[in-house]
Chains A and B, each alone.
Chain A
Amino acid sequence: MYAFNYQKVKTVADAAKVLTRDGDAKLLAGGQSLIAAMKLRLAHPSEVTPRSPPPSR
């Protein structure tokens, strides 16, 4: 696995901000594919953001 930043966000807007700021950022949803690809060094995201439903505001 390559080094990456794990970015926890509170709102959908924050998540969108991370994704637009950094083209190499990826959303993490369960991780069944992404984590395996990262472990094999096939994926190299710079930031990973969990896609769990953020608290509504």
Chain B
Amino acid sequence: MGATPYIGASIKRKEDYRFLTGAGNYTDDVALPRQTYAHFVRSPHAHAKIKSIKKDKAQKAPGVVAVFTGDDLAGAKVNGLPCGWLITDVNGQPMKEPPHPCLAQGKARYVGDHVAIVIAETHEQARDAAELVKVDYEELPAVVRAAQARKKGAPVVHDIAPDNTCYVWGLGDKAAVDKAFSGAAHVTTLEFLNNRLIPNAIEPRAANATYSRADDSYTLYVASQNPHVERLLMTAFVLGLPEHKVRVVAPDVGGGFGSKIYLYAEDVVCTWASKQINRPVKWTADRSESFVSDAHGRDHVTKAELALDRDGKFLAMRVTTTANMGAYLSTFASCIPTILYATLLAGQYTTPAIYAEVTAVFTNTAPVDAYRGAGRPEATYVVERLVETAAREMKMNPAEIRRRNFIKSFPYQTPVALLYDTGNYEATLAEALKIADVAGFGGRKADAARRGKLRGLGYSCYIEACGIAPSNVAGALGARAGLFEAGEVRVHPTGKVTVFTGSHSHGQGHETTFGQVVADRLGIPMEDIDIVHGDTGKILFGMGTYGSRSIAVGGTAIVKAVDKIVAKGKKIAAHLMEAAEADIEFKDGAFVVKGTDKKKAFAEVSLAAYVPHNYPLDKLEPGLNENAFYDPANFTFPAGSHICEVEVDPDTGTVRVVNFTAVDDFGKIINPMIVEGQVHGGLTQGIGQALTEGCHYDKDSGQLVTGSYLDYCMPRADDVPNFRVGTKETPCTHNPLGVKGCGEAGAIGAPAAVMNALSDALGLRDIEMPATPQRIWRACREMKKAA
């Protein structure tokens, strides 16, 4: 690497100028000639037979261009939405994959299920006309909660799964676990729900599709985290279109948190309809629509047990989870509570035997898929609630019990499939203890008690697996896609550089971070580099952004392409300076003949490549443009220690997070400011899950009760403290940047830390998330009664 000041510098985000001055270009900003507007007719019932749909009145309403239903799609042979990961159950059978039609066929299976599309000259006209589409529903009983889905006599969501079971899946050595439990000195058992969350990106989902008769091609603008995957799934599996005839553009996207990874029905229907009416079709979800129709997150029911010896060493862990898939399998739904959950149950510890059994069930609720952390927050919650509870039961210091069980030598093969390459868990915990002033907690607790308040302290030492890989291993585990990333570095004749990445930025700041990486590597100013993403028409390929993979996988692909540029540049420079290629080194943005003062600047070599008058044309092609694909050898394993301190007012049940410390090991850090921002956002989402956010469906009717901001409580700035953050750098061993990823860590670690602190404050074993003032007040009252 050069001596440039780019790696490790808190450079202000390049993209913020356009965002802060209103110059961003989001899908809804895209206005096309002869634009039409779509509105979707959605099921008001959780479960209903569709006896008939009368669309004639709507078709005659002012401004209406077209109305399409499931029958129209079936007639045109439009397939349903595919699931991208095949899980094989404990008996070796494939999971149940019920059809997921883009517009309902015969039945609606959750409130918000897409039933028809109305297209009109204006959005208001489409919306008004949608109310004239007469759907004759016959209401059916609904099953809502995961715990009810497999009960005898429960309503059946899909005929192909009469017991509402998608799969029963297991991981680990069950016999070894059972044996360890039978000889354990102590067993800690917890049963809890991991609450369902509704993602709330600031930009709702949107799509604007247009068809060109001139060359029989489509362009879809869509708020997506991975446009190439969207195109691949839509063309190859759903619409049967030639892939090269569809361009998918995901322009500026205002947040995703996982909810924009998936191929959604609305995207497909708008694309298909644009050809039917030969006009562009735009749909933008309103907030109420987002609540009912975006893929939700979490929703597990779990029983977890930890076996320990007399000294607090972990002997074995047994976890039984029922995961709610919702009414249909969303794109990656099946791998979240399995591959991304059970594999993380070793946490930071040497637990020698672990067995997890996961049952995925269908219910009459919105589909559930990856949401910031995706399986890993659920796993961390299991491990860290168990560990802390065990420490309290055995009267051990919660930091000490963790230290006693930390993995200390690497690489480390866990009993649940993962191979951790590196880590230093004692270092992050020691730093967190210091920053959080745990030594002074006793004094603060006593002071709070004098004021009639209850203080508690809770830990969470999380691990996550980012940059899911390699493709062949994932393929053997059921992945139906590759997990590499692609990058292209285009050097222009003047030495300016455009970088194309298959990663997608929807708030992460890639234009800055990736720019820093390339500037460092090429020794040229960041101003000379632009990062382009989000357009299948410009970028060779991409798997997009999810699972904190962008810098580790996408960044590495770019580095590989940059290295090819430098290698070719050396050949050109050797020719220009009449030196041997082996004698050329690339340093500080120039090609230098070793041991001499002879050098050629990067821009001089670029120019020679495009104006090849003095150039080895017999041996080398002109031009300076390289691409690279990178398929990682392993996951990366960011880890860290969170310590949360809460204060409860037992009279009102309100809880205040008074201190929150997060010390994370993300490996090498490119831009500390951006990383800290990611941590703040993740922690806030984690605290939201613990204290405020809970998606609630009425257990009988299946109506979404928390369908607006009046009922669904997003955390606000005054719900969180000034975070105290620190980092430790243990570089990843298998990518050239040494990076691990930081996007999800906060949301993964925080819920367990908050709930451990809260249960400490209240002196309770457990309290359900979200721990709202009402729940806490009730718990306090129960305890008073019992005392």
Are B124's CB and A40's CB within 8 A? no
Contacts of A1 in B (CB 8 A): 124
Per the bound structure, the CA–CA distance linking A3 and B63 in Å amounts to: 14
Are A3's CB and B124's CB within 8 A? yes
What is the number of residues of chain A that contact chain B, defined by CB distance less than 8 Å? 5
B583-617 CB mask vs A (1 if < 8 Å, else 0) is: 00000000000000000000000000000000000
Per the bound structure, the CA–CA distance linking A2 and B129 in Å amounts to: 11
Are A40's CB and B128's CB within 8 A? no
Contacts of B93 in A (CB 8 A): none
Are A2's CB and B128's CB within 8 A? yes
Contacts of A3 in B (CB 8 A): 124, 128
Q: Tell me the minimal C-beta distance from A39 to chain B in angstroms.
A: 8
Query: Within residues 1 to 55 of chain A, which ones have a CB less than 8 A from any CB in chain B?
Result: 1-3, 36, 40
Q: Is B494 an interface residue (CB 8 A)?
A: no
Q: Is B472 an interface residue (CB 8 A)?
A: no
Q: Is B774 an interface residue (CB 8 A)?
A: no
Q: Tell me the minimal C-beta distance from A48 to chain B in angstroms.
A: 16
Q: Tell me the minimal C-beta distance from A5 to chain B in angstroms.
A: 14
Q: Tell me the minimal C-beta distance from B750 to chain A in angstroms.
A: 31
Q: Is B288 an interface residue (CB 8 A)?
A: yes
B278-319 CB mask vs A (1 if < 8 Å, else 0) is: 000000000010000000000000000000000000000000
Q: Tell me the minimal C-beta distance from B269 to chain A in angstroms.
A: 22
Q: Tell me the minimal C-beta distance from A7 to chain B in angstroms.
A: 19
Contacts of B710 in A (CB 8 A): 36
Contacts of B128 in A (CB 8 A): 2-3
Query: Within residues 680 to 719 of chain B, which ones have a CB less than 8 A from any CB in chain A?
Result: 708, 710
Per the bound structure, the CA–CA distance linking A51 and B708 in Å amounts to: 28
What is the number of residues of chain B that contact chain A, defined by CB distance less than 8 Å? 5
A interface, over-half SS: loop
Contacts of A40 in B (CB 8 A): 288, 708
Per the bound structure, the CA–CA distance linking A3 and B288 in Å amounts to: 19
Residue of A nearest to B287 (CB): A39
Q: Tell me the minimal C-beta distance from A43 to chain B in angstroms.
A: 14
Per the bound structure, the CA–CA distance linking A46 and B710 in Å amounts to: 25
Q: Tell me the minimal C-beta distance from B402 to chain A in angstroms.
A: 47
Residue of A nearest to B708 (CB): A40
Per the bound structure, the CA–CA distance linking A36 and B124 in Å amounts to: 17
Per the bound structure, the CA–CA distance linking A1 and B708 in Å amounts to: 15
Per the bound structure, the CA–CA distance linking A52 and B474 in Å amounts to: 64
Per the bound structure, the CA–CA distance linking A3 and B127 in Å amounts to: 11
Per the bound structure, the CA–CA distance linking A1 and B286 in Å amounts to: 11
Q: Tell me the minimal C-beta distance from B280 to chain A in angstroms.
A: 23
Per the bound structure, the CA–CA distance linking A40 and B708 in Å amounts to: 10
Per the bound structure, the CA–CA distance linking A40 and B288 in Å amounts to: 8
Contacts of A36 in B (CB 8 A): 710
Q: Tell me the minimal C-beta distance from A31 to chain B in angstroms.
A: 15
Per the bound structure, the CA–CA distance linking A1 and B288 in Å amounts to: 12
Contacts of B288 in A (CB 8 A): 40
Per the bound structure, the CA–CA distance linking A36 and B709 in Å amounts to: 11
Per the bound structure, the CA–CA distance linking A2 and B131 in Å amounts to: 11
Per the bound structure, the CA–CA distance linking A34 and B140 in Å amounts to: 34
Q: Tell me the minimal C-beta distance from B501 to chain A in angstroms.
A: 38
Per the bound structure, the CA–CA distance linking A3 and B708 in Å amounts to: 22
Residue of B nearest to A36 (CB): B710
Contacts of A2 in B (CB 8 A): 128
Contacts of B708 in A (CB 8 A): 40
Per the bound structure, the CA–CA distance linking A40 and B289 in Å amounts to: 10
Q: Tell me the minimal C-beta distance from B293 to chain A in angstroms.
A: 16
Residue of A nearest to B707 (CB): A40
Per the bound structure, the CA–CA distance linking A1 and B122 in Å amounts to: 13
Per the bound structure, the CA–CA distance linking A36 and B711 in Å amounts to: 14
Residue of B nearest to A3 (CB): B124
Q: Tell me the minimal C-beta distance from B42 to chain A in angstroms.
A: 13
Query: Within residues 77 to 135 of chain B, which ones have a CB less than 8 A from any CB in chain A?
Result: 124, 128
Residue of B nearest to A1 (CB): B124
Query: Within residues 637 to 668 of chain B, which ones have a CB less than 8 A from any CB in chain A?
Result: none
Residue of A nearest to B286 (CB): A39
B548-591 CB mask vs A (1 if < 8 Å, else 0) is: 00000000000000000000000000000000000000000000
Residue of A nearest to B122 (CB): A3
Per the bound structure, the CA–CA distance linking A52 and B249 in Å amounts to: 46
Per the bound structure, the CA–CA distance linking A40 and B711 in Å amounts to: 14
Residue of A nearest to B131 (CB): A41
Per the bound structure, the CA–CA distance linking A40 and B710 in Å amounts to: 12
Per the bound structure, the CA–CA distance linking A2 and B128 in Å amounts to: 7
Per the bound structure, the CA–CA distance linking A2 and B708 in Å amounts to: 19
Per the bound structure, the CA–CA distance linking A2 and B130 in Å amounts to: 12
Residue of A nearest to B710 (CB): A36
Per the bound structure, the CA–CA distance linking A11 and B708 in Å amounts to: 37
B499-530 CB mask vs A (1 if < 8 Å, else 0) is: 00000000000000000000000000000000
Per the bound structure, the CA–CA distance linking A24 and B710 in Å amounts to: 26
Per the bound structure, the CA–CA distance linking A46 and B288 in Å amounts to: 23
Per the bound structure, the CA–CA distance linking A36 and B286 in Å amounts to: 13
Residue of A nearest to B709 (CB): A36
Q: Tell me the minimal C-beta distance from A10 to chain B in angstroms.
A: 29
Q: Tell me the minimal C-beta distance from B431 to chain A in angstroms.
A: 46
Per the bound structure, the CA–CA distance linking A3 and B128 in Å amounts to: 9
Q: Tell me the minimal C-beta distance from B132 to chain A in angstroms.
A: 13
Per the bound structure, the CA–CA distance linking A8 and B646 in Å amounts to: 52
Per the bound structure, the CA–CA distance linking A1 and B124 in Å amounts to: 8
Per the bound structure, the CA–CA distance linking A4 and B601 in Å amounts to: 66
Per the bound structure, the CA–CA distance linking A3 and B125 in Å amounts to: 9
Residue of B nearest to A40 (CB): B288
Per the bound structure, the CA–CA distance linking A36 and B288 in Å amounts to: 12
Per the bound structure, the CA–CA distance linking A36 and B128 in Å amounts to: 18
Contacts of B124 in A (CB 8 A): 1, 3
Q: Tell me the minimal C-beta distance from B136 to chain A in angstroms.
A: 22
Per the bound structure, the CA–CA distance linking A2 and B124 in Å amounts to: 7
**5 nearest interchain CB pairs?**
A3-B124, A40-B288, A2-B128, A40-B708, A3-B128
Interface CB pairs A-B, < 8 A, 7: A1-B124, A2-B128, A3-B124, A3-B128, A36-B710, A40-B288, A40-B708
Chain B residues in the interface with A (C-beta under 8 A): 124, 128, 288, 708, 710
